[in-house]
Amino acid sequence: FDIDRHLIPDVFGTISFILLLLLPAISMRLFAEDQKQGSFELLLSAPLASWEIVLGKFLGAMGFVCMMLLSLSHCFLGLFWMGSPDIGVLVMNIVSILFFSGACISVGMLFSSFTKNQLIALSLSFITCLIFWISDGVAQLGSGKFSEILSYISFIPHLDQMSQGALHIKDLGYFFCFIFFFLFVTMQRVEANRWT
């Protein structure tokens, strides 16, 4: 039984699906709760740039995700008890989960910055992340340039490459650009609130 090819990608595939359900709930409060309670104006009046506010909330949410992953460390240690997994494959799966978490949190932050209602932020961020999750499956139904675009914007092909232990520049670029885009738009939204 090949742990590296069968067990590790399946375990982390299950973790990423669970995170798809949890991450919108983690990120829904990041700005919506501040706007609802009226503490958002206090945050904007602090001597902080908009990018510092956005980056601070993003890193705080990512820290929470890292603590959740640390709670699974006994599962990773169990893999070494069962056999001898490849450290590179295990590390790349953890890295892929972190990139995926960052992407979903950045989407949730954007929708949280647009509304005071946490349930609206939760619903919109979950639907958006789900679209990015299933777009590869939709792309398989057709062919042509549009199907290639749908496949490329999906999380799944990039996560699959990384789950096999392969680190490609296009996968790193995809996640960096994805996270940067949503954080940048969130920063513009926070900056716009300073002037309204």
Q: What is the model's pLDDT at position 3?
A: 67
Q: What is the model's pLDDT at position 46?
A: 80
CA distance 124 to 177: 21
Alpha-carbon distances, residue 22 vs 35, 47, 77, 115, 144 (angstroms): 22, 32, 24, 19, 34
162 burial (CB, 10 Å; 0-12 / 13-18 / 19+) is buried
Rounded average pLDDT per 10-residue block, the chain, 196 residues: 70 88 91 82 81 92 93 80 79 90 95 90 94 88 84 87 83 93 93 78
